[in-house]
Chain A
Amino acid sequence: MQTLEPIVAELPLFKGLKPEHIKLISGCASNARYDAGTFVGREGHPADKFWVLREGRMALQIHAPGRGPLTILTLGENDAVGWSWLVPPYQLRFDIHVVQTTRALVFDGKCLRGKFANDPELGYEMMQRFSSMILRRLDAMSLQLLDLYGDHHADHE
């Protein structure tokens, strides 16, 4: 089986890490392919994976009774999906719906947590990188919340 190290090393999330760290992380990674219409996670279920999408689309959704699945955010090529595995209680907050057939690198969260615990230097570096991504995601979702294009209080011209 071909090693995933070169692929992992090129991902923005891991770019620049020391080769031994890339090796460690790659040890927790594998390739995956998901059919459209499937769910890779459900709200409340244990969170023990995260994905970096190579191709395709996933959607973070909440199921509202009577309304069906409501999409909060869609994620595509190069996006990282799933952070609930980082912190206790390691539980998914949303459904993760595969909207289009998706190829991804899937990382075993428990495996990674173990590696980070054993190598605090790697752990801290990765926490910083994850935080940075989370911040950007938060920024974008904040803008989404602002309803910028909406109708604001009325008018006179």
Chain B
Amino acid sequence: MHETAIEKGRDATIERDQLDRLFELLRERGYTVVGPVVRDGAVTWDELSGAADLPAGWTDEQEAGRYGLRHSDSPALFDWTVGPMSAKRYLHPGLVTLWRARRNGNALELLDGDPPPPKLAFFGLRACELAAIAVQDRVLLGGAVVDPVYRARREGALLIAVQCGRAGRTCFCASMETGPAVRPGHDLALTEVLESGRHGFVAEPGSERGAELLAALGARAASAGEAQAAQAAVARAAGGMGRTLETAGLPALLAKSHEHPRWDEVATRCFACGNCTSVCPTCFCVTVEDPTDLATGITRRARRWDSCFSIDFSYIHGGAVRTSIRSRYRQWLTHKLGAWHDQFGTSGCVGCGRCITWCPAGIDITEEAGALRERKRKKEGTRANA
């Protein structure tokens, strides 16, 4: 009845009440749909059965070391920024059984690990999260050796992004050039538009799969007003960034700042709790364990998230290389904002601000990076290479 956006080469609009149909289409195509839900006082990720599961009327307030949700009567589904969890939870899971083994007389029999994962459709990824997926793609798929666990989950994944209409106080994706406008890599990018009593999502296809979905949905072309409102929303987010991080020359600076006094200072505040690495969407460090089931004698190789803040992380015979919290914080920040470039050609940080929000001490990566640019002058004399 109405011309589809695809035919017109324009963005489409998905009505609010078409979402359930969209999810249905995804399921018909074999996807399990995951998206944002509110649970335990935060916006987190879970399987969606329908649009009713989405965080309608919820807004978040984030600051260093603080996260809170407020509810109102607003029908807006995406008036929040990011929760503690990201797509990492599904693509690079926190606990995986890589394989199991059984001793068979004098032979070692290898058995399967976790069953193949379901095909996932992510509904509601933010620009920073898409960027984080791209970063993890490089880490886990971009080298000579590919991580089969990540590949199995990533290959089939469908990515539906939802643009941010406002920025949070810990957000700095603009500084990291990862947002707030979604960069290519999505199958669909939606922007929630609420005006004149209408509630819909301006939808931009980013791939053939995305376009096919819009066509199957019969999504109509977006009106000029809707398209404008969508652009305004993203512009609002861009103009409202809570933090900035100056990236120019940062990797080179970090490479020669190992003795900067700032590390001593931040070490007095950091607990090395590892919250930051847990919520960070790009942190990829893992460890392996080999628990054995006493009843069956079957041992499994379990892979779980690990953190460079853990005291054992750098343990070699004799002791850990990085025993002080100072050295562990330095390792994390220098890696995230510096060495990552050497290793993978991009920054490891996407500016989502989670580490700032979820740090119990409220340590702010943007503030630390800024402080490292300062050359400290001691009263006794200047410090070389500070």
A and B in contact, CB less than 8 Å:
yes
User: A interface vs B, CB < 8 Å?
Assistant: 152-153, 155-156
B315 at the interface (CB under 8 A from A): yes
Contact B315 A153 (CB under 8 A): no
Taking CB atoms, residues of chain B closer than 8 Å to A155 are 317
Q: How far is the CA of A68 from the CA of B210 in the complex (A)?
A: 86
Q: How far is the CB of B132 from chain A (nearest CB, A)?
A: 32
Q: When each residue 282-323 of chain B gets 1 if its CB lies under 8 Å from chain A and 0 otherwise, what string results?
A: 000000000000000000000000000000000101110000
Q: Are B318 and A156 in contact (CB under 8 A)?
A: no
**7 residue pairs, one from A and one from B, having the closest CB atoms:** A152-B318, A155-B317, A153-B318, A152-B317, A153-B319, A152-B319, A156-B315
Distance of A66 Cα from B250 Cα, bound (Å)? 64
Question: How distant is A91 from chain B, measured CB to nearest CB, in Å?
Answer: 40
Contact residues of B between 235 and 262, Cβ < 8 Å to A: none
Residues of B within 8 A of A (CB): 315, 317-319
By a CB distance below 8 angstroms, the chain A residues around B317 are 152, 155
Nearest-Cβ distance from residue A83 to partner chain B, whole angstroms: 35
Cβ–Cβ < 8 Å partners of B319 in chain A = 152-153
Give me 6 A-to-B residue pairs in the complex whose CB atoms sit less than 8 angstroms apart, sorted by A's number: A152-B317, A152-B319, A153-B318, A153-B319, A155-B317, A156-B315
CA distance A152 to B315 in the complex (A): 13
Nearest-Cβ distance from residue A25 to partner chain B, whole angstroms: 42
Chain A residues near B315 (CB, 8 Å)? 156
The residue in chain A whose Cβ has the minimal distance to the Cβ of B312 is: A156
- Which residues of B lie under 8 Å from residue A152 when comparing CB positions? 317-319
CA distance A156 to B319 in the complex (A): 9
* Least distance between B312 CB and chain A CB atoms (Å): 8
| A112-B363 Cα distance, complex, nearest whole Å | 67
Looking at the assembled complex, report how far the CB atom of B320 sits from the nearest CB atom of chain A, in whole angstroms: 11
- A156 contacts which chain B residues (CB < 8 A)? 315
Query: Chain B residues with Cβ under 8 A from A153's Cβ?
Result: 318-319
Q: How far is the CA of A28 from the CA of B317 in the complex (A)?
A: 53
Closest beta carbon of chain B to A57's beta carbon, Å: 33
Closest chain-A Cβ to B362's Cβ sits at a distance in Å of 34
- Give A5 to B315 CA distance when docked, in angstroms: 57
Give the nearest-CB partner of A150 in chain B.
B318
Bound-complex Cα distance A50 to B319 (A): 44
The complex places the Cα of A120 from the Cα of B317 at a distance, in Å, of: 53
In the assembled complex, the Cα of A152 lies from the Cα of B318 at a distance in Å of 5
Q: Which residues of A contact B318 (CB under 8 A)?
A: 152-153
User: How many Å from the CB of A146 to the closest CB on chain B?
Assistant: 12
- Report how far A153 CA is from B317 CA in the complex, Å: 8
What is the distance, in angstroms, from B313's C-beta to the closest C-beta of chain A?
13
Q: How far is the CA of A135 from the CA of B319 in the complex (A)?
A: 30
**Distance from B314 Cβ to chain A, minimum over Cβ atoms (Å):** 13
**Complex formed: what's the CA distance from A153 to B316 in Å?**
11
CA distance A152 to B317 in the complex (A): 7
Q: What distance in Å separates the Cβ of A149 from its nearest Cβ neighbour in chain B? A: 11
CB distance from A156 to the nearest CB of B (A): 7
- In the bound assembly, the distance between CA atoms of A105 and B315 in angstroms comes to 51
CA distance A156 to B289 in the complex (A): 13
Q: How many angstroms between the C-alpha atoms of A46 and B315 in the bound complex? A: 51
- A147 CB to closest chain B CB (Å) equals 11
CA A155 to CA B318, docked complex, whole Å: 7
A134 vs B270: C-alpha distance when bound (angstroms): 45
Report Cα–Cα, A58/B318, bound state, in Å.
35
A138 to B48, CA, bound (A): 71
Minimum distance in angstroms from A157 CB to a CB of chain B:
8
Docked CA distance A36–B325 (Å): 57
A64 CB → nearest B CB, Å: 29
A88 and B316 alpha carbons, distance in the complex (Å): 47
Nearest chain A residue, comparing its CB with the CB of B315:
A156
Q: Which of B315, B317, B319 has the most CB of A within 10 A?
A: B317
| Closest-CB distance, B371 to chain A (whole angstroms) | 36
